Amino acid sequence: MSLVGRPALYDNVSDIQIEAEKYFAECEDKGKRPSITGLAYSLGFESRQSFYDYEARGEFSYMIKRMRLFVESGYEEALAGNNVAGAIFALKNMGWKDKIETEHSGKLEVGKPSWFDGIEKK
């Protein structure tokens, strides 16, 4: 028995691009910030993951990345405002980090201290 999934919602990039542009225009008209969830819903997906899965499909990869980047840019711009908690939360879910990571390079050699040279084992 083979498992058959639901048929793809979009067969070509231009169809998904047209629908995404409608969503972005509607957000602009209503003064709303676009979101990944809103975009996925508007495109007819049942989950954000289904939207992300399209990125793995070669012909859709570039367009999905552009859509995600557009949504992310809106949250990044919101960081300049007074109420940034929601934007920070959204950006963290998009892979941003607010921690400092320090990388050290070089070599650490561990050996006997010089005072140990004269001590013999019993």
Q: Which domain holds residue 69?
A: 8-79
In a domain, 20, yes or no: yes
CA separation for the pair 66, 58 (Å, rounded): 14
Instruction: Report the domain count for the chain.
Output: 1
In a domain, 1, yes or no: no
In a domain, 100, yes or no: no
How many Cβ atoms sit within 10 Å of the Cβ of residue 49? 9
Q: What residues in the chain have per-residue pLDDT under 70?
A: 1-7, 112-122
Cα angle value 98/100/102 (rounded, 5°): 155
In a domain, 43, yes or no: yes
In a domain, 99, yes or no: no
In a domain, 121, yes or no: no
In a domain, 93, yes or no: no
Whether pTM exceeds 0.75: no
Using CB atoms within 10 A of its CB, is residue 39 exposed (0-12), middle (13-18) or buried (19+)?
buried
CA separation for the pair 71, 66 (Å, rounded): 9
The pLDDT of residue 90 is 80
The pLDDT of residue 15 is 93
Question: Residues 34-60: pLDDT tens digits?
Answer: 999 999 999 999 999 999 999 998 899
In a domain, 85, yes or no: no
